[in-house]
Amino acid sequence: MVTIGITGGLGSGKSTACQRLKEKGAVIFDADSIAKQVLQNNLVQEQLVDVFGADIIQDNTVNTSKLAKIAFSSEDSQSALNNIVHPHVIEQFEKMRDELADKDGLFVMDAPLIFESGIDAHFDHTVLIYSTMKLRINRAMKRGNLSREQILRRMDFQMPEEEKRGLASIVIENNGSLEHLYDEIDKLFARLMGE
Other CB atoms closer than 10 Å to residue 76's CB: what's the count?
A: 9
pLDDT tens, position by position, 113-135: 899 888 899 899 999 999 998 99
Of 191, 195, 185, the C-alpha closest to 18 is 185
DSSP H stretches of helix in 101-194: 114-117, 133-143, 148-157, 161-167, 178-192
Domain spans of the chain, in order of start: 2-192
SS3 content of the chain, % helix, strand, coil (to 5): 60, 15, 25
2-192 folds as Rossmann fold (3.40.50)
Is 26's pLDDT higher than 70? yes
Q: Which residues contact 166 (CB under 8 A, 6 or more apart)?
A: none
Determine what percent of the chain is predicted with pLDDT higher than 70: 99
C-alpha span between 96 and 1 (Å, rounded): 12
Query: What is the residue type of 174?
Result: N
C-alpha span between 113 and 118 (Å, rounded): 8
pLDDT tens, position by position, 46-84: 999 999 999 999 888 899 888 988 888 888 898 899 999
**φ/ψ bin of 60: left (φ > 0), alpha (ψ from -120 to 50), beta (otherwise):** left
Mean pLDDT of 145-174: 86
Is 145's pLDDT higher than 80? no
Query: What is the residue type of 72?
Result: F
How high is the pLDDT of residue 195?
63
The model carries a pTM of 0.87
C-alpha span between 99 and 134 (Å, rounded): 40
